[in-house]
Structure 1
Amino acid sequence: MNEGLQDRLEKFGLSLYMIRITLAASLSWVAVHSLYGDHYLYFAPLAAILITQGTVKASLEKGFYRLLGIVLGGTVSLIVGRFLDIGILSILLILLLGIGIATACRINIQAVSQVGVTSVLALTFYHDHYIVWRVAETLIGVLIALLINMIIVPPKGFVKVKSLALEGSLLLADSLSGMATGGRDAAKAQKALTRSGELLAKSVRLRQEMQFTLSHYPCRSGLRGLTQATAHLQKVHFYVKEIADELSLLPAHYAAADWMVEVAGATADCIALYGTKTLSDAEVQRSLQESLRHARDLQLAWFSELQGICPLTAIRDLGAVFSHLNRVLEVIEQADYAAVSAAPLPARAEAARSIHLVNNGLSHKL
């Protein structure tokens, strides 16, 4: 399925999630009918529908808890059913025992609820083969649902995840550079910051959906690097939000001063340069380490100068802004170092010649 076809299908409600559930339930019914005939055919499709999630890991966890609840609830029902007829007393005893044991063992709440459902059904359809059929057919439904989750994946998933993270990093840089200008640009910067966070979060969600799928294998090294890059960018996003809050509390002649625009712009350039270098195939003309050093020098120079001309109360508030700006640079520097460390040995040796970790940053000044 190509990306354009998927978009057209989703307009008519044929989402990827719906396709997964439909295929998993249908194939589960066919598999059980071929193996067992007409005995309780609905358990396998039901299990496939209930455990199909957005990720393989989530489906596996839900399937495990469902099977655990069925085994525990079915065992309690068989034991109680040997001694008591179906009635209010037997149902009450089964639920107390089954759910009580599951709760005492700190079993996940999904398994606890399944214990109650299976206990009542097992007592209602009570005979020796019910639990065996129930477990076997549920297992078939779980396995088929997991297989469908591994095969049916978004088209060009890795490219899409990477492009979302890249767009989020560039918007993050735009938002930081626009915060210090004030007025309408500041409002646009706030919108860009919000949108950046949404794109980074969506990139993380889609990347998680690719884990343990067949399409994950050929790009697993790229996904590891993307995981690190997105995590660092989300940290940067947090600090940029803090900067926005601090700037909103400053007087306009500080928040929108030319030196603030210059410092914020230099820091934003580092964010954009890191995103372009890490998340795109474009050739980067500037050195990220040089840009980091330039931004840090600007921050230190301006903060030193402001200490001689601003009152202590202004220095206190400006210090919070400069501190967060420096933390943005530190996160980017750590992210770049991690990317170089994870690179193949020849590329790592070549890149190591240009990496100089700065020991005297702005944090020592504040």
Structure 2
Amino acid sequence: MNEGLQDRLEKFGLSLYMIRITLAASLSWLAVHSLYGDHYLYFAPLAAILITQGTVKASLEKGCYRLLGIVLGGTVSLIVGRFLDVGIVSLLLILLIGIGVATACRINIQAVSQVGVTSVLALTFYHDHYVVWRLAETLIGVLIALLINMIVVPPKGFATVKGLALQGSLLLADSLSGLASGGRNGEPDRDMLKRSGDLLAKSSSLQKELLYTLSHYPCRKDLRRLTQATVHLQKVHFYIQEIAEELKLLPAHYAGSDRMNEVMTAAADCIALYGTRTLSDAEARQPLPECLRRARELQLSWFSELQAECPLTAIRDLGAVFSHLNRVLDVIEQADYTAVSAAAVPVRSGSARSIRLGSKGLSHKL
């Protein structure tokens, strides 16, 4: 669906969710009518309406719970209805057995409630083959609703999740560069760090949802690379969280020093450069390996100076900060190598082995 068209439709209340429900219910009714005529036409559109959710995964889960509840509740009703007439005793017995078994098996509460509904209705329509019709038509409604959810998706879904990951990576870099300048009370930068984590988590969740849609197929390779990049950025986010906690333990003249700020900024530049290079079409300001080498040199240079002038307790806490900073650079280097390898043209096995060995040697030199 076109993005501009969707915005105009939503102004009149025609949201994407409403369009999905309308299409799923209408097509379900049409499919059942074509197959079975006028028998229980309301079950398929009813199932399509009830299981249609905002995501394909949520709709699939709700559809499975609904079918499971129908099977369990219908089975209990058929067994009890064979021996007892419709009445308060048979109703109580069906509900006790059906809901009791579902609860004992730790079935989701949505399926448990469906067991009760199906049990009551199956007992009422016992002589009209209610269970068979309802199961078949509910299955049709569920399948059509899932298909509609896979086809009718928000426009530019891949661009949206890629933009969220890019924004998260840039916020991640800004938060790291601001931690040292903020010193022990860098709360705004920690808020920025939290927002970057939320953006990366949201992008990761939407990427998984894209896998269930048909629109992801043309960009499946790019989506795979985006998923790998997001995983690496989330690792970087974890290490920066550790750095933020370690900085709280450092004396202010170490945590907020100009040299610490320089080291943090150099590592943050590597993160921003990787995010810009991998998640956008903008040209990189400098090669990432050069940026990584400079960041490592700054870390080693200042840490060697600190060892000669700091007490052992400060060296211990500073060592934790520098250890996490080095891990940040390692993850960025690994992520960049993974992205380059995935985008490279396949070569012969001997050449590929030479490239891997050469890259490994370069990594040790850096």
TM score, norm. by length of structure 2: 0.88
Matched residue, 1:286: 286
2:184–2:248 Cα contact (<8 Å) kept: no
1:84 aligned onto 2:89: no
| Corresponding residue of 1:97 | 97
Is the 1:51–1:62 Cα contact (8 Å) retained in structure 2? yes
Deviations, residues 213-238 of structure 1 (Å, cap 9, x unaligned): 22111111111111111111112112
The offset of 1:59, in angstroms, is: 2.2
CA distance in 2 between counterparts of 1:286 and 1:355 reads: 21
1:180 matched to which residue of 2?
180
Instruction: Using the TM superposition, name which of 101-110 and 254-263 deviates more.
Output: 101-110
Amino acid in structure 1 at the alignment position of 2:259: W
1:168–1:196: 8 Å Cα contact kept in structure 2?
yes
The alignment of Structure 1 onto Structure 2 pairs a total of residues equal to 361
CA–CA distance in structure 1, aligned partners of residues 92 and 335 of structure 2:
57
* Partner SS state of residue 281, structure 1: coil
CA displacement at 1:61 relative to structure 2:
3.1
1:262 is matched with 262
**How many Å apart are 1:142 and its aligned residue?**
0.6
Contact persistence 2:184–2:256 (CA under 8 A): no
Conserved? CA contact 1:340–1:351, under 8 Å: no
Q: CA offsets per residue over residues 245-274 of structure 1, 9 Å max, x none?
A: 322343321121011111101111111111
CA deviation string 1:164-188 (max 9, x = no partner): 2111111111111112112899454
Code of the aligned partner of 1:338? T
Separation in 2 of the partners of 1:103 and 1:359? 57
Deviation string 1:13-52 (CA, Å, 9 cap, x unpaired) is 5432232123212322333344444443332222112222
Q: 2: CA distance between counterparts of 1:194 and 1:8?
A: 34
Aligned-partner Cα distance in 2 for 1:256–1:15: 50
What is the deviation of 1:110?
A: 3.7
Contact 1:28 1:48 in 2 (8 A): yes
Residue 243 of structure 2: aligned partner: 243
Q: Secondary structure at the match of 2:138?
A: helix
1:104 Cα deviation from its structure 2 partner: 5.0
When residues 11 and 300 of structure 1 are mapped into structure 2, their CA distance, relative to the original with a 3 A threshold, is farther
**Mapped contact 1:178–1:185 kept (Cα < 8 A):** no
5+ unaligned residues in a row in structure 2: which ranges? none
Per-residue deviation, residues 318-355 of structure 1 (Å, max 9, x unmatched): 22222221221122122223223333435896986666
Contact 1:153 1:210 in 2 (8 A): no
Determine if contact 2:73/2:114 at 8 Å carries over to the other structure: yes
Whichever structure has more helix as a proportion of its residues is: 2
**What residue identity is the alignment partner of 1:32?**
V
Taking the TM superposition and a 5 Å limit, the aligned residue runs for 1:46-195 are: 46-105=46-105, 107-182=107-182, 186-195=186-195
Which one-letter code corresponds to 2:290 in the other structure? E
CA shift in 2, pair 1:105/1:185, >3 Å? closer
Tell me if the contact between 2:166 and 2:280 (Cα under 8 Å) persists in the aligned partners. yes
Query: By how many angstroms is 1:240 displaced?
Result: 1.5
1:364 matched to which residue of 2? Answer: none
Amino acid at match of 2:151: I
What is the Cα deviation at residue 103 of structure 1? 4.6
Corresponding residue number in structure 2 for 1:342: 342
Q: Which residue of 1 aligns with 2:306?
A: 306
Q: Does 1:358 align with 2:363?
A: yes
Match of 2:2 in 1: 2
- Alpha-carbon distance in 2 for matches of 1:13, 1:180: 48
1:351 and 1:226 mapped to 2: Cα distance? Answer: 23
CA distance in 1, matches of 2:55, 2:149: 7
Cα separation, 1, equivalents of 2:8 and 2:250: 48
Contact persistence 2:153–2:213 (CA under 8 A): yes
Q: Is the 8 A contact 2:182 2:189 kept in 1?
A: no
Moved more, 75-84 or 121-130: 121-130
Change (3 A) 1:254 1:149: same
Inter-partner Cα distance in structure 2 for 1:224 and 1:41: 42
When residues 77 and 357 of structure 1 are mapped into structure 2, their CA distance, relative to the original with a 3 A threshold, is: farther
TM-score computed with the length of structure 1 as normaliser: 0.88
Question: Which residue is equivalent to 2:27?
Answer: 27
**Aligned partner of 1:171: which letter?**
L
Query: Which ranges in structure 1 are unaligned for 5 or more consecutive residues?
Result: 362-366
Q: In structure 1, what is the Cα distance between the partners aligned to 2:360 and 2:16? A: 44
2:284 alignment partner, SS class: coil
Task: Give the match for residue 216 of structure 1.
Answer: 216
After TM superposition, the structure 1 = structure 2 runs for residues 314-333 of structure 1, keeping only pairs within 5 Å, are 314-333=314-333
Distance 1:274 1:44, change over 3 A: same
- Contact 1:176/1:264 (8 A) holds in 2: yes
Change in CA separation of 1:281 and 1:39 when aligned onto 2, cut-off 3 Å: same
